[in-house]
Amino acid sequence: MTAIYTKAQVAEHNKKESGWFIINNSVYDVSKFYDDHPGGRDVLLANIGRDATEEFEAVHHSKGAMRKLEDLKVGELPPSERRRFISMKEVSAKKSAEGAWFVINNKVYDVTKFLDLHPGGRDILLYNAGGDATEAFTDNGHSDNAYRMMARYCIGDLELDERKKFVNRKVTGEQHNSTVKAVRVKSEDESLLGRIQEQLQLFIVLALFVMAGVFLLS
């Protein structure tokens, strides 16, 4: 029978002598694996006592590594604490005001109750509902408070075999405004350059006319 350990129990094993972590709802004891880990002991020590799923999945692991991981397994999380995995098929069915879900950085969010609370209006949320909104979210700049607020609407993770590789970047409103300002300045500079080029071309044409007139009179 598989042993059951809570996240609180795993958190107690955060010492070098007894290091456990969680990957995809399973609990692993890596205490005796530090020196054998191909990536070095530091990466293991940095994740003991917590859920290391995202860190683990960010790195490609061979079939041999996956078999070794199973040898280190000591138990699983209780059903009430397990991560929920959701398919894109499930997400794609939730694209209306009655049920609005989308994916950001491989996590699934249910924003149905947030539609009328969103500062940018409900339309932008409904437009992205049922799909992957990672780029739309990160490219439009959000405050630190918005990032904190996201957590309460997260309902699970995208299925492992459906995940995309994303740079988990955080674009703040200030950074977004700076980008917009830079684009605006660039546009104004290009417009000014265009006017200068037009005036220069006109000057050249006039100069040619003058030269032609002088030639005819001489």
Write the CATH number for 93: 3.10.120.10
217, containing H or E segment: helix 173-217
Rg of the chain over CA atoms, in angstroms? 28
- Positions in the chain whose pLDDT score sits under 70: 165-194, 205, 209-218
| Best CA proximity match to 19, nearest among 4, 37, 3 | 37
60, containing H or E segment: none
Domain-located, residue 61:
yes
Confirm if 124 and 118 have CB atoms less than 8 A apart: yes
pTM of structure: 0.54
Q: Specify whether 18 is located in the same domain as 65.
A: yes
Q: Specify whether 89 is located in the same domain as 154.
A: yes
Q: Specify whether 74 is located in the same domain as 137.
A: no
d(CA 30, CA 39): 13
Count of domains observed in the chain: 2
Confirm if 145 and 136 have CB atoms less than 8 A apart: no
d(CA 167, CA 156): 19
Q: Specify whether 98 is located in the same domain as 132.
A: yes
Domain-located, residue 217:
no
Residue 27 sits in which domain range?
7-78
**DSSP annotation of 58:** T
Please say which residue of 140, 158, 176 terminates a domain: 158
Q: Specify whether 52 is located in the same domain as 37.
A: yes
**Quick one: pLDDT at residue 210?**
64
Which segments within 98-171 are labelled E, that is strand? 99-104, 107-110, 154-158
**Quick one: pLDDT at residue 149?**
81
d(CA 119, CA 152): 17
